[in-house]
A and B are shown apart, each in its own frame.
Chain A
C-alpha cells in the first residue's frame, strides 16, 4: 500500500495539562493549513465546557470522582465522533485531537475507533518536567481560560495545580512500542520518535522538532521602492528608486529601536538586487535565499497590469477569480510560492530574531502563515512599501506592529475586485471601504475560531500605523510635483518620455496613474529636503490619529538633508475614506473580455507551430493548478487529469467533481 496517498491521520495529543498540547495542535494545524492540507483541531476541553459548563473546579477532574469521569468521557467521545465525521464529510487529511489522553485505556479506545474508520493515529506526547515552565504556562495561558473567568488568580493557580495533580495520578506515558508516536520532552530538548510512517507524518515530526518557545520577533519589510514599482511594472530585477534608497538608509535605526537591546538579529533577503540593496546599511549577519525571490510572473514579467490586461485579457480576469491558484504562464502561482517557502518557514520556526527583506507576494505568504490567513485572503494581504511589520509570536497568537517610515512610495496593492462583476469600473477601485474592512477582520481570525483551548485568551493585537494613504491624495500631490519636476533641467529629456507615457496611460487603472507620475517625481534626485518636508507634512496630517511619538531622525543613518520620520501608533482609521474618489480612473477595466476563449498569445515566443492532435485537445490550453481544477477554456482535453489536494493527479473522467 502506498504510504502517503489518501491517508488520513489523527494526531492525538498526550500529556498533562499545561504542557503545551494546545499550542502544538494550533501550530501544526496552522502549518498544514498553510500548506493547503485540510486540517482541523478538535479540542475536547471546548466540548467539555459546552456540555458541562466552564466553571468546574478541580474536583471535576479527580479520577476518583465518577461523575466527573463520566462527563469528561462524554466530551471526549463527542469530539471523537465529530472528528470521524469531519474526515468523511470534509475530506479531512489531518485532525488534531487535543486532550490529555493520559491513560492507556483512553488511547486504546481512540485507536480502536480510528482503526474502524481507517484513520492512522499518531500520538504526540508532550512531557514537561520543568516546573517553572509549567507554572509559566498556567500563568500566561490557563488563567485567561473561560474556566477561570472571574476567579482570583491565586486561587485559580491553586485550582489548576490541583487539576494537574489529579491527572498526574492516572497519567501513563506512552511506552507501547507498536504505536506511532513522537514524544517531546521539555520542549524538544529530548525527542523520541517511534514508527513514523509516511511523508506527512515525518514532516509533522520535523516541524515539531523545530519549534521553540523562546521569545523572539520576526520583522518583515519589503524592499525599498524600486524603479519597477514606480513604473507600475511587475517582476524584473530593478534597482531601488531614490526613495527606496532613502528607505534603506532609514532601516538601521528603525530596526535598532524596535529590536531591543542586546538582541541578536539575522537579516534574510532574496537574491534580487532590490532586497540586497535595501539591506545594504544593516550591519547584522545577512543571508540571501533564492527561495525568497519574488513570485515569478512568467511571460508577464516586466509588464504593467494594463499591458497584461491588453495582452492576456483572459489571464487577467482569471487571476482575480482565484488569485491564490492562478499560475502565470511560464511562471508561478501563490500556491507554488507557498510550497517553495516551506523550508524557509521551517527554518524561521527554528530561528530567533529574523528580519526578512522580501517582496510583496513572498511576504504575503509568510505573513499568512504567522497570522493564520486563509488561501483566499492571502493574495490580498496588505504589505505596503516602506513599512516594517513586527510579529511577536506568543502562545496562541501573534502580536503585530507596523512601523511606517515616512518616505513616500507607490502603492502596489491591487485589491480583489468585488465578486460578481469584477470587470466593472467602480469595482476595480483599489481602495474601496469593503476591501479595507477585510484586513482587520482577517487579522482577528484566530480569535473567531472557536477551537482554541481557552477561547478568551486568544486575541490578536493589531497595531498599525496610518493605513496606506488614499491614492487620490497621493496622486494629486505627486502629479503636482511631477509637473514641476518636468520643468527641471537635468531630467527634462526623460521626463518628456515619461510624460507621454503618462498621457498614454490615462486610461490605465488607478495603480498606473500615480505610478507614472511618481516616476517623474523620483527622477529628480535627491529630493530636496524642503520639498520632502512639505510633502510629508500632508501625510502626517492625514495620519493625525497616530498617538505615539515620532522618532527623531538620526543623522547617523539618515540622509542629513532629508530627515524622515518614523511613526508608530495604533490603527489610525479604517483605511481610506476618500478612496472612492479614485474610481474615475479605472474605466477601461470594464472593457469586455473576449468570450470566444481561444487564447490570444501575441508574443512571438509563444507562437507554436500548428499541430496534429494526437490525444485530446492540445490546443485548448488548460491551466493546471495544484489542488484545483482550473480551466481557461471550455474545450479541455478529455484526458487531462485533475488534481486532488494532495497533489495527486486523478483521471478526469472519474473524478470530475470535487466535493
Chain B
C-alpha cells in the first residue's frame, strides 16, 4: 500500500522530483569532474538513482589516450567531428539511461558553447528531463594550477609523461578551448555558477526538491585540505540495550583516554614530519570533536575537554541506529520472534526497517545534516560515534553503494584517518593501543538486523597493525582496506564513485562506428 520509505518507489524515482540532467560547463581543470563525483556520491547516498556520464572517459575508451593537445582544439576541424561524435555517443547513452528509470544523470564534459548547451536543453526537454547546468568558473590561476598538478597530470592521458611536459600540454589544451568558451547568460535556463571553488555561487531558476538540495550541497563544498577521523565510542556498562543508554564502563574510559593521547600524538607527529610538503607549509588545523548525545559517545569524547583548544560538540542526530523492537534481544530471540522480518532484511539490508527500528537508510537520511556540515567544515574533525553511524558516514565519504554500508567494518579500538582528495578519499587505520573490545551480543544482533553476517569473527586485519608498543608510528594498511590512490582509474573500492565504465559491448559497438579501434584504451 505504502512504500513506507522516503526515496524508494517502484520506478526507482522520487515521485515528487522529476528526472534531472546535470550538465557541467567549464574549461578544463576547473574542477568539473571533482564536482560531478562529489555530487554523484551525495545523490547516491541520498538514495537517488544517479549516474555520471563522462565524455572524457568515452573518448579515452573509444579512441585511446595518446592524443596531443591539438586533438582538443575546437579549431581543429579534423578532430572536431570526432569529438562531437564521442560527446553524442555519451549523450545518447545518458538519454537511454533516463528512459530506463534514471533520475539524476550527470554529464561531465566541457559544453563550453551556447549552441551546444541549447542542443542539450532541447534533447533533454524532448524526453521530459529537466536540464540544470553547473558551470565552474575559475579566474584564480593558483587554483587552476593546483588542480592541473594534483589531478590532471596523473590522469591516464599522461601516463609515462614528464610532469612538466604534461602540465604544459594540458595548459595548451585549455588555451585551445578558451576562444570558444562563453559563459552561461541565458536566464531562462536553470543553472548554478560555482566561481573560484565556491567563493561565490550564482543560482538561477533552480527550483525543485533535488535542485535545491544540489545547490545547497554545492554551497558547502570546498577544496581546502583537512582530515576526518573516526573512532567508535568506548565500551559501556550495558552494551546490549539501546534504551538503557548506559554510561561508559571503566574500560571505556581507559579507551577514551588512550584514544585522546594517541590522536594528539599522531597529529603532532604529522605536523612536524609532514612528509608531503608539496603544498603550502601547514600550520596545524584546529581539531573539533563531534559526538552524539548518547552517554557512551559523549563520555568518550569528553576526555578531549582536558585540552582547551579542542572543541567538543554534541549532536543528537549522531545517535546510533535505533534497534526498535529488537532492543535487548539476542540474535536467537530475533530469529525466533521475527523470522519474516529477517527474510525481508536479507532481501534489502540497507532499507529494511524492523518494527519501530531505523533502517540504515533512515539513519543515512538523519545524518544528512551532518554530512553537509562535514563537507563545509575546514577544521579537522574527529567523530566519536557508534559503529552504525560511522558506517553511514564512511559509506558516504567513500561513495560506497548502499548495499555495502550495513556490513562495513569499523572495528573497535581503531582510529580511522580519512583525507578527502579531489576524486577520492585516502584512508589510514591506526590501532589504538591498549584498547579492549566489548563482549556483547549487540554486535551480532545489529549484524543480524542488517544481515551484515559473513564477517569473520576474528578480525583478520588486526594482524596488520603495529604492535601496541609502536604507538606513534603511522601505519598504513594496504591490502584489506580501500586506500588512497592518485590515479583515478585504478580499481580500489574507494573509487566506486568513479563513473561506471562503458560496457565492453557498447565500447566495441562505438569503436566500430568510429571505424577505428587502436586498442589503446586501458
Q: Which residues does A use to contact B, with CB under 8 Å?
A: 1-5, 177, 189-196, 198-199, 202, 205-206, 209-210, 237, 266, 271, 276, 280, 285-291, 296, 298-299, 301, 327, 329-333, 335-336, 339-340, 342-343, 347, 350, 605-606, 608-609, 611-612, 614-615, 618, 621, 624, 626, 639-641, 643, 646-651
Contacts and interface: CB of A to CB of B under 8 A. Distances in A.
Contacts of A298: 243, 245
B11 interface: no
Interface string B328-370: 1000000000000000000000000101101000100110110
B173 interface: no
Interface in B241-255: 241-250, 253-254
Contacts of A196: 201, 219
B313 A646 contact: yes
Given A271-B4, A271-B353, A649 B302 contact: yes
A649 B298 contact: yes
A339 B316 contact: yes
A136 B249 CA distance: 64
A335 B200 CA distance: 34
A299 B306 CA distance: 33
A3 B200 contact: no
Nearest to A606: B244
A190 B365 contact: no
A193 B219 contact: yes
Contacts of B358: 290
Interface string B84-110: 000000000000000000000000000
B492 to A, nearest CB: 31
Contacts of A290: 5-6, 353, 358, 362, 365-366
B161 interface: no
Contacts of A331: 243
Contacts, number: 185
B298 A624 contact: yes
Interface in B304-325: 305-306, 308, 311-317, 322
A25 B317 CA distance: 27
A331 B322 CA distance: 10
Nearest to A335: B316
B67 interface: no
Interface in B188-226: 199-207, 209, 212, 215-216, 219-220
B365 A291 contact: yes
B286 interface: yes
Given A290-B366, A639-B302, A649-B305, 8 more contacts: A4-B377, A191-B206, A202-B372, A206-B216, A296-B322, A608-B237, A641-B305, A648-B313
Contacts of B203: 190-193, 209
Contacts of B220: 202
Among B2, B15, B207, chain A packs the most CB atoms within 10 A around the CB of B2
27 contacts: A5-B311, A190-B187, A192-B203, A193-B219, A195-B200, A196-B201, A202-B372, A266-B16, A271-B353, A288-B4, A290-B365, A291-B365, A329-B243, A339-B315, A340-B317, A340-B366, A605-B241, A605-B244, A609-B237, A611-B249, A626-B316, A639-B302, A641-B302, A646-B313, A648-B311, A648-B312, A648-B314
Given A193-B201, A330-B242, A615-B253, A287 B6 contact: yes
A612 B250 contact: yes
Contacts of B247: 618, 621
Contact of B302 (A199, A621, A640): A640
Given A191-B203, A209-B215, A285-B16, A649 B293 contact: no
A651 B187 contact: no
Contacts of A650: 305
Among A4, A237, A643, chain B packs the most CB atoms within 10 A around the CB of A4
A437 B379 CA distance: 49
Interface string B2-14: 1111100000000
A327 B314 CA distance: 14
Nearest to A210: B212
B222 to A, nearest CB: 10
B376 A193 contact: no
A343 B368 contact: yes
A641 B305 CA distance: 8
Contacts of A198: 376
Nearest to B253: A614
Contacts of B123: none
A342 B369 contact: yes
B238 interface: yes
Contacts of B372: 202
B450 interface: no
7 nearest A-B pairs in the assembled complex, by CB-CB distance: A330-B243, A649-B312, A191-B203, A608-B237, A193-B201, A330-B245, A336-B316
B378 interface: yes
Among A202, A210, A649, A651, chain B packs the most CB atoms within 10 A around the CB of A649
Contacts of B205: 189-190
Interface residues on B, range: 35 or more
B288 interface: yes
B428 interface: no
A339 B212 contact: no
B172 interface: no
B312 A641 contact: yes
B197 to A, nearest CB: 12
Given A288-B6, A605-B328, A649 B376 contact: no
Interface in B230-279: 237-238, 241-250, 253-254
Contact of A649 (B301, B368, B377): B301
B356 A330 contact: no
Interface string B278-309: 00000000101000010100100110011010
Contacts of A266: 16
B199 A195 contact: yes
Contacts of B322: 296
B212 A199 contact: no
Contacts of B353: 271, 290
Contacts of B317: 339-340
Among B293, B317, B322, chain A packs the most CB atoms within 10 A around the CB of B293
Interface in B464-484: none
A195 B241 CA distance: 46
B513 interface: no
A271 B373 CA distance: 26
Contacts of A612: 250
Contacts of A287: 6, 16
A609 B235 CA distance: 13
Among A2, A198, A291, chain B packs the most CB atoms within 10 A around the CB of A2
A608 B219 CA distance: 47
Contacts of A614: 250, 253-254
Contacts of A343: 365, 368-369
A298 B1 CA distance: 29
A644 to B, nearest CB: 9
Contacts of A640: 302
Interface string B498-512: 000000000000000
B313 A192 contact: no
Contacts of A643: 314
Contact of B202 (A192, A618, A621, A649): A192
Interface in B1-38: 1-6, 15-16
A624 B215 CA distance: 35
A29 to B, nearest CB: 20
Given A193-B202, A649-B312, A209 B212 contact: yes
B223 to A, nearest CB: 15
Nearest to A5: B311
A299 B244 contact: yes
Contacts of B212: 206, 209-210, 350
Nearest to B365: A290
A505 to B, nearest CB: 25
Nearest to A191: B203
Among B5, B205, B206, B316, chain A packs the most CB atoms within 10 A around the CB of B316
B4 A199 contact: no
A276 B243 contact: no
